[in-house]
Structure formats: C-alpha cells, structure tokens
Structure 1
Amino acid sequence: MDLNATLILLVAALAVMVFAGWRGAQPPNPFKGPRMTPWRFIMLGAAALALLLLIHLATLFGAERAPWIP
C-alpha cells in the first residue's frame, strides 16, 4: 500500500474513532429505546486500525524492527 492510501485510511480511521467516541459518550435516551449500535466497540476497532496504520506509516518512512537474537 502506498503513502497516499495509508494517509487516507488513517484520516478516515481517526474520524470514525472520534465520531464513535462522541456518540458513545452521549447519555442514553430511554424514550427512544436502547442503543443498538456498539459505539465503544467501533471506537476501539478504529483505534486499533489507526495504530496498525501508524506502524505501517513508520515502515514506509524507513523504520525497521530490531533483529531477533535467540
């Protein structure tokens, strides 16, 4: 995956993470019924994806992992 696609997906994951965090922090409204969308889980999934994309971005800029010595 190239740099442009990584940055676009990273921005999208961050936007989903912020939106889901905001929606998950809203107080429940008992008149509308229970919330059926798991906003906290969506926020955690987007944060995990953003972390993986940040690692991929670091490897695109030349970061390498340390060699494993048994």
Structure 2
Amino acid sequence: MSLTTTLIFLALTLAVMVFTGWRGARPPDPLKGPRMMPWRFLMVGSAAIAMLLLIHLATLFGAERAPWIPGA
C-alpha cells in the first residue's frame, strides 16, 4: 500500500475506533432492551487494525526489525 492509502485507512480506522468507543461507553437503557452491537469488541478490533497500520507506516518510513540471532 502507498503512504496515502495507509494514511486514509488509518484515519478511517481511528474514526471508527472513537465512534465505537463512544457508543460502548454510553450507559445501558433497559427500556430499549439489550444492545445488539458489540461496541467494545468493535473498538478493540479497530484499535488492533490501527496498530497494524501504524507498524506498516513505520516500515514505509524505513524502520526495520532487528535481525534474529539464534541462541540469544
């Protein structure tokens, strides 16, 4: 993915994460019944995707992982 695509996906993922975090933090309303959307699970999932996109962004800027040394 290019830098522009990564930044667009990162912004969308962060927006979804903030929205689902807000929805998950609202107090329950017993008159409406149970919540049918797992808002907190969706928030954690979008946070995981945002972390992967941040790692991809770091690799686009030249970050490399340390070499593996056997027996260390």
| Counterpart residue number, 2:4 | 4
Secondary structure of 1:66's partner? coil
Quote the Cα distance in structure 1 between the aligned partners of 2:2 and 2:34: 42
Quote the Cα distance in structure 1 between the aligned partners of 2:49 and 2:17: 10
Quote the Cα distance in structure 2 between the aligned partners of 1:65 and 1:31: 52
| Counterpart residue number, 1:16 | 16
Quote the Cα distance in structure 1 between the aligned partners of 2:13 and 2:57: 14
Give the number of equivalent residue pairs: 70
Secondary structure of 1:13's partner? helix
State the TM-score, normalizing by the size of structure 2: 0.96
Quote the Cα distance in structure 2 between the aligned partners of 1:31 and 1:69: 60
Paired letter, 2:38: P
Give the unaligned 5+ runs of structure 1: none
Paired letter, 1:67: P
Residues 21-68 of structure 1 show CA distances to partners (whole Å, capped at 9, x for unaligned) of 000000001111100000000000000000000000000000000000
Secondary structure of 1:37's partner? coil
Quote the Cα distance in structure 2 between the aligned partners of 1:49 and 1:9: 9
1:30-69 map, 5 Å: 30-69=30-69
Give the unaligned 5+ runs of structure 2: none
